[in-house]
Each structure stands twice: as structure tokens, then as C-alpha cells.
Chain A
């Protein structure tokens, strides 16, 4: 069973508009959530994170929102730029494979395409 779900495999957005990427999780033990960006032939790079004690975290054009009651988080990119085109992975720590090590459980990713 997937503990972290990204139900949209792809998303296409016009340059300058908002990109909203969604992520749902099932394990209520998760207490830390991260977003990673991945370009082809490169390793994932950290983008932004949020602790379960917060409901919003902002870093420049990137904002992550957490709704614990719905077990849902989203990443907003405003304004979107062509260079944002990449695969975005949602990840969570804690839970079954977390334990004291807090290992990350990843979603399957959403491919974002930002068109000029």
C-alpha cells in the first residue's frame, strides 16, 4: 500500500501562472514532509519542507501547505518558470519505515511542464 500518494502523474502550466502539486498520505505517524525536484539524469534536490506542527512554509516562489486533518499537502509555485519543469517528489518521514531513523517515504512523482 502506498503511504504517500501523488495522484497526478503530470501537470502542464503556462509560464507566470501558479503551479499546484498535490500529495496525500495515509500514515498519521508522519511528522515531517519534504518536496524534492528532479531533473533528468540528476539526483533529486531538496526544495522545501514542513513540520507537522505548521500548516504553511514559504521560501521565495515556493510554498508548501499542510492539512493534517485531511492528510494532504500541496506545493505552490508562483510564478511558474520554464526552469521549474521537472519531476517533483513528495516525501514524508516517520511511520513504519521511519522509526527513530525517520527514513523518507516518497510518492511516485509529478512531472511538471511549464510552457513559455
Chain B
């Protein structure tokens, strides 16, 4: 298995609170991604990073921010969690421009009540 660790694996939080999810890799891959998976929607890209301090928005970036201060860590922050952000969040990494396979973490199940 690729060295990707997501933390926490499960979290319940209240509406309006800030939440940060962490993705840590040991593969020294340049590219890191955050996706969310929802029933009926498949996997949708939130944000991605193509290097330290280099990030960009994906398809569903509203309400989310990211930071990458080190190659190995990619943080996803919900500034003020809403119930619509209840989802399973997956981090992925790749060493090229995703023309080869990306490796996914185990996921974080976030519930906003």
C-alpha cells in the first residue's frame, strides 16, 4: 500500500465549527488531492496541490481551503462546517500529472450535525 495516512478517520462536528482534515504521505509524491464522495455523485475534486505552497481549486471548492507547507502534508479546512459537507473525504497522491494511477487514502468520514 502507498504510504498515505488520513486523520482523523471519523469525526462528528457541529455546524459552524472549523474542521481540519490531514493527509500525510511518505512517498514524496509531488501531487496531492482532496476528493469527497457522496451517494449519487461519485468522487468530486475539492482542491489539489502540485507542490509546496502551490494549490488550486477543483470542482467543488466552495467552503473549503487547503494548505501545503511541506511535501508530505496536505490539509483540508472547513472554515465553518455545514451539514452539506457531511461526506467521506479522500486524499490522493500521484507523482506525475495523473496520467498514471493515483493512490488513495482510507478516507475520513465527517458528519456535521
Which residues of A does B touch, CB under 8 Å?
A: 6, 31-32, 34, 36, 41-46, 49, 51, 89, 91, 93, 97, 100-109
Contacts and interface: CB of A to CB of B under 8 A. Distances in A.
B43 interface: yes
29 contacts: A32-B98, A32-B99, A36-B104, A41-B106, A43-B92, A43-B104, A44-B104, A46-B102, A89-B43, A91-B43, A93-B98, A93-B99, A101-B50, A101-B56, A101-B97, A101-B98, A102-B96, A102-B97, A102-B99, A103-B45, A103-B58, A103-B98, A104-B45, A104-B102, A105-B45, A106-B35, A106-B42, A108-B42, A109-B42
Contacts of A103: 33, 45, 48, 58, 98
B110 to A, nearest CB: 14
Contacts of A108: 40-42
Contacts of B96: 102
A49 B107 contact: no
Interface string B88-102: 001010001111111
Given A49-B100, A97-B59, A101-B31, A43 B90 contact: yes
Interface string B33-53: 101000011111100101000
A107 B42 contact: yes
B103 interface: yes
Given A97-B45, A104-B45, A44 B90 contact: yes
Contacts of B59: 97, 105
Interface in B3-32: 4, 31
A12 to B, nearest CB: 19
Contacts of A49: 100-101
Interface in B53-97: 56, 58-59, 90, 92, 96-97
